Amino acid sequence: MRAQWAWLALLGVLMLLGFWWFPGRGGADSDTYGTGVRGKKAFYRLVDELNGGVSRNINFLVPALGAMGTLVLLGPARYPESSEWEAIYDWLLDGGRLVFAARSDAPAVDIGPLGVEIRAVDGGEESPTEAETVEDVAIALFGVEDSSCSESVDTALADGGFCWSSTGTIQYQDAGAEVLLSVEGKPQVIFLRVGKGVAVVAASDRIFTNSELARKRYDNDLLAYRILASCETLEPIYFDESLNAMGTPKAFGILFDPMLRRLSLQLCLCAVLFAWWGSRRFGPPKPPADPSHRSIREHAVAMGNLHFKAGSGSEVASHYLEFFRRELGLHAGSLRGRVPEGGHTEHSRPAELLARWAGIEASTVAKTLEEADRAERGERFSSSETAWLIGSLARIKRRISKGKGLNETDHGA
């Protein structure tokens, strides 16, 4: 009964997942769902509290550009393709707002329609290691000095102490572009007007991560928000997660993407129903199958072992002697008689007949018949004597069966 309730509970969970799904959807650990040091959930909640009208875009990027608003791309796991950049450019011409920040671990990206390129410097194409992640926690919580952090930030966005971490620099072609933030003369954040719209491009998304916002010594949270606000934000503000969902390596997890999730859940539901049906018994239990019959050889071996342990070899020999007579068509008592050394008697006829039928010496047959006579009288036989007697009778019978057979005169002996 407990198994039935377990199946019902599993079916209920699968049916509920068709209408409701866990947040996060298996995207990158640096997205706005991420609560780790490289996640951006803290910045998402900060913008939501200060502005409102904030949401996430988990569907395809280009269809989501239909309405005017502010699109935020913070270090996506997959950069937009050329066709997607063209769609974003057309959307900006109509009055959209864009905030784009390259990934700090791989900043190289070419935004062709905007005439902007972010290049990696100082070995900026390497992914963060586990040791660096632990270092971020120590920096954020305990104020440990960060060697990759630059405090020489030149910006008019906000006043205070800031720490900027970047392995890239921005190169742009538009003479009207405005540098909002630079470090040691290298542009890190720029402002561009594109038609009716505005684009803000940053060389690193590190400032928007949870670990950077948690720094106690700096005002990084203020700087991150001012970078977003510099694009003259329009509501709604939506953080794109479609590039994170499609950019992370997947094998089995692709079956649970938003596009295929409902079909995958239906397949899982069918599999559970089939497993439930297969685990139940319908109707009365089947009777046990008949055991396979053993061969006559196994039966003979078992009987021989029993007679060997009981010491009843004479009974075995007596039974085989009866079988011997029946197979050859002889009467009871017709095998008695022997062949003496000095000549023949009237009692030697059975041995002579069997010897002639089998084509062997009469003395050999006579010895066999003498031992058979002892078996009929009930004398005790050892195992070796029983085996010899049965073997001799079997050889005589086999030779007679291969011969010409009995004639009418001999048959009446």
pLDDT tens digits, residue range 185-239? 899 999 999 999 999 999 999 999 998 998 888 899 999 999 999 999 888 899 9
Of all residues in the chain, the percent with pLDDT exceeding 70 is 76
Residue 349 falls within a domain, yes or no?
Answer: yes
Residue 264 falls within a domain, yes or no?
Answer: no
Let me know whether 138 and 65 are in one domain: yes
Residue 284 falls within a domain, yes or no?
Answer: no
Let me know whether 227 and 147 are in one domain: yes
| Domain finish residue from 187, 216, 247 | 247
Confidence at residue 335, expressed as pLDDT on a 0 to 100 scale:
59
Computed on alpha carbons and rounded to an integer, the radius of gyration of the chain in Å comes to 50
What distance in Å separates the CA atoms of residue 124 and residue 358, rounded to the nearest whole number? 103
| Residue 337: Cβ within 10 Å count | 20
Residue 129 falls within a domain, yes or no?
Answer: yes
Domain boundaries, position 359: 297-411
Let me know whether 209 and 328 are in one domain: no
62 band by pLDDT with thresholds 50, 70 and 90: confident
What distance in Å separates the CA atoms of residue 135 and residue 130, rounded to the nearest whole number? 9
Let me know whether 224 and 336 are in one domain: no
Give me the residue label for tokens 């079909």: 263
- Measured CA distances, 264 to 14, 21, 255 (Å): 10, 13, 6
70 band by pLDDT with thresholds 50, 70 and 90: very high
What distance in Å separates the CA atoms of residue 395 and residue 82, rounded to the nearest whole number? 97
Residue 21 falls within a domain, yes or no?
Answer: no
Let me know whether 43 and 145 are in one domain: yes
Residue 228 falls within a domain, yes or no?
Answer: yes
Confidence at residue 98, expressed as pLDDT on a 0 to 100 scale:
94
Let me know whether 197 and 332 are in one domain: no
Domain count for the chain, please give it.
2
Find the Cα–Cα–Cα–Cα dihedral 31, 36, 40, 41, rounded to 10°.
100
Residue 145 falls within a domain, yes or no?
Answer: yes
Confidence at residue 242, expressed as pLDDT on a 0 to 100 scale:
85
Confidence at residue 190, expressed as pLDDT on a 0 to 100 scale:
95
Collect all residues with Cβ–Cβ distance below 8 Å to 28 and sequence separation of at least 6.
34, 77, 244, 247, 248
Let me know whether 312 and 242 are in one domain: no
| Domain finish residue from 247, 270, 305 | 247
Characterize the bridge pairing of strands 54-57 and 237-240.
parallel
Query: For the domain that residue 130 is a member of, what is the CATH number?
Result: 3.40.50
Let me know whether 79 and 175 are in one domain: yes
Let me know whether 242 and 301 are in one domain: no
Let me know whether 194 and 71 are in one domain: yes
Let me know whether 63 and 176 are in one domain: yes
Residue 153 falls within a domain, yes or no?
Answer: yes
DSSP H stretches of helix in 19-146:
41-50, 82-93, 130-142
The residue with greater pLDDT, 361 or 344, is 361
Per the prediction, the chain carries an average pLDDT of: 78
| Domain finish residue from 212, 232, 247 | 247
250 band by pLDDT with thresholds 50, 70 and 90: low
Question: Average pLDDT of 4-17?
Answer: 81
Let me know whether 242 and 134 are in one domain: yes
